[in-house]
């Protein structure tokens, strides 16, 4: 195995990531405003921005799902127990002792076992929950005539609870970016696409011959 810098995150993946960040931050900002945590914008404007941001994020997720399925990138999110306990132990204990991260990115698997499990839960549980509850709330005028106000309250509570869960994920995600040798090393791959990856001789030969622009 040799350690080389390769194009790990494609242009679309980086566009999807940063656009998602912008839209989720907009939704959190306006969501807090709608719930009365701040009055930096008037209520009507915040509702309009929240709705527009939610619909934009939903469209982005549809394209992202299509991209993951058609490119085979979904395989990076398949959970595995191989090395999971070692990575978990590192974040609970080893990181505070200055130990080396037990996982090295591979050409065929860029996320460590704990990342893959976390991202999969985010994509299969939290994101669908926020979609469904948000759409139900948005289309309340269509179905609300046959339901009580208490039903809408429960939908709103579920939507808010999931939003806070996503916020906690973001806080943990940003915190983990500050760990390790350099904050820059964690962020730059999602800006220029390149990161250090362990390659087999076959993978290295393939990239140097067929995709020389994607290996350094």
Q: How much is the pTM?
A: 0.87
Confidence category of residue 1, pLDDT binned at 50, 70, 90: confident
Confidence category of residue 55, pLDDT binned at 50, 70, 90: very high
Q: How long, in residues, is the chain?
A: 216
Please tell me the predicted confidence (pLDDT) of residue 105. Answer: 84
Could you tell me the domains of the chain?
2-214 (1.20.950.20)
Confidence category of residue 167, pLDDT binned at 50, 70, 90: very high
Please tell me the predicted confidence (pLDDT) of residue 145. Answer: 67
Straight-line distance from the first to the last Cα atom of the chain, in angstroms, rounded to the nearest whole number: 15
Percent of the chain with pLDDT over 90: 55
């Amino acid at each position: 195995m040799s350690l080389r810098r390769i194009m790990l995150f494609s242009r679309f993946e980086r566009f999807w990531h940063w656009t998602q960040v912008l839209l989720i931050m907009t939704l959190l900002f306006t969501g807090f405003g709608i719930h009365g945590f701040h009055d930096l914008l008037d209520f009507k404007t915040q509702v309009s921005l929240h709705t527009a941001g939610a619909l934009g994020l939903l469209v982005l997720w549809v394209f992202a799902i299509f991209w993951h399925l058609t490119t085979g990138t979904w395989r990076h999110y398949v959970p595995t127990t191989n090395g999971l306990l070692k990575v978990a132990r590192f974040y609970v204990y080893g990181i505070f002792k200055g130990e080396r991260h037990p996982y090295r990115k591979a050409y065929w698997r860029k996320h460590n076992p704990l990342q893959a499990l976390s991202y999969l839960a985010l994509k299969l549980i939290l994101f669908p929950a926020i979609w469904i509850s948000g759409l139900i709330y948005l289309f309340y005028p269509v179905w609300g005539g046959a339901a009580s106000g208490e039903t809408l309250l429960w939908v709103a509570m579920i939507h808010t609870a999931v939003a806070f869960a996503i916020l906690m994920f973001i806080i943990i995600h940003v915190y983990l970016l500050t760990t390790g040798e350099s904050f820059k090393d964690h962020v730059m791959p999602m800006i220029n696409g390149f990161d250090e990856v362990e390659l087999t001789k076959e993978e290295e030969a393939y990239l140097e011959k067929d995709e020389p622009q994607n290996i350094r």
